[in-house]
Structures are given as structure tokens and as C-alpha cells.
Amino acid sequence: MKGNRVALVAGVAVVLLLGGWWLSTRGNGADSVDLVEALGTATKSPAEATIEAADATINGESLRAISATPPTRITWKVLIPDDGWLRVSMGMKEESWTQEGNGTYFLVGVSDGQRFDELFTQHVNPFSNPGDRKWIPVRVDLSAYAGEEVELIFNTRNGPPEAAGDNRNDLALWGAPAIVVR
């Protein structure tokens, strides 16, 4: 009886160890796409836009980021892996927090060449909303596009759609954008 318990406990321990190993090796980066690193392969518009990779710190948290002063569009052609997710944070450079303006409108979508699917939008305005004085993380399930080569499109616009046009202090950042496997 006692020997059976020991065998059962040992079996459970082995299953837990194997399960932990399996979970830790999933998403190991093999299928991940670092979009900051891939910025050189992206299409950027307009031609005169300031779009560049940079290390950025917001409220004490540093991320490798893409600085994109609105209005901008960045398009990557990517193959979406099985269990692929978009991971990105949005924010505004700290010097914009105390300068007048109506913030930046962030929009991300996917195009397969036939249609455009909006994945999410976010208006960030740290001047008017102190709660926006941080990185704002977003995770989006891309499994609907698994195995497809698509255009992943990041847009920044001057302010929200209803009040667009104010480009004062629109110092937008896309923090650590990547396609990861979960």
C-alpha cells in the first residue's frame, strides 16, 4: 500500500515536471517576430515621416520601441505562426505629458490583400489623462491568420477621429512590438 503511494507521487511529479518543461519550451521565440528588429524591412509612410527604432523609458519602464510621429503607417509582411499573438505596448514620450495637445490615436490592423481587419485602436493622451502616463500593453490573438502571409499595419494619427488634426506634442511610441507564440 505504502509502495503504491510512493509510485503515485513519483508519477505525478514526473508528469508535472514534463508539463512544466513543455510549457516553458512553447513560445521559446522560434516562431517569434521582433518587429523593432524587422523595422528595416517594413514599408513606412509618409516618406518624410520620422519613424525610427529607439530605447524608450516611460514612467521608469524601458522598452525597445519604435518612435513614430503621427501621422504614420508602418507595414510588415509577416507569416503568422500557429498560436501567434501580437504583443505591443503604446505610449507617449514623457516630454509630451506636460505639453498641450490632444494625444495620439493608435490603430493596428491586418490585410490579406483582399480585406482589412482592424485589430484594435487606442487613444493615448497623457496631457489630459494622467492614467496614460505609462506603457499601455495590448495582446491580440492572431490565430485566425495562422499559416497566412499578411500585412500587419500600425498607424498613428493626430488625436482621436472626432478631433484629429492637432499634431502638437504627438510623440508616439510602439513599445516592444512582436508576434509571439503562446
Tens digit of each residue's pLDDT, the chain (182 residues): 566 565 444 443 433 333 333 333 344 445 799 999 999 999 999 999 999 999 999 999 999 999 999 999 999 999 999 999 999 999 999 999 998 888 999 999 999 989 999 999 999 999 999 999 999 999 999 999 999 999 999 999 998 887 767 787 789 999 999 999 98
> By three-state DSSP, how is residue 19 classified?
helix
Confidence (pTM): 0.81
Q: How far apart are CA 59 and CA 128, in angstroms?
A: 16
Domain positions in the chain: 1-29, 31-181
What's 31-181's CATH class? mainly beta
* CA dist., res. 100 & res. 37, Å (int): 32
Neighbours of 87 (CB within 10 A): 17
Measured over all CA atoms, what is the biggest interatomic distance in the chain, rounded to whole angstroms? 77
- C-alpha to C-alpha distance for 156 and 150, rounded to whole angstroms: 20
Q: Which residues contact 40 (CB under 8 A, 6 or more apart)?
A: none
Contacts of 157 (CB under 8 A, 6+ apart): 70, 71, 104, 105, 107, 164
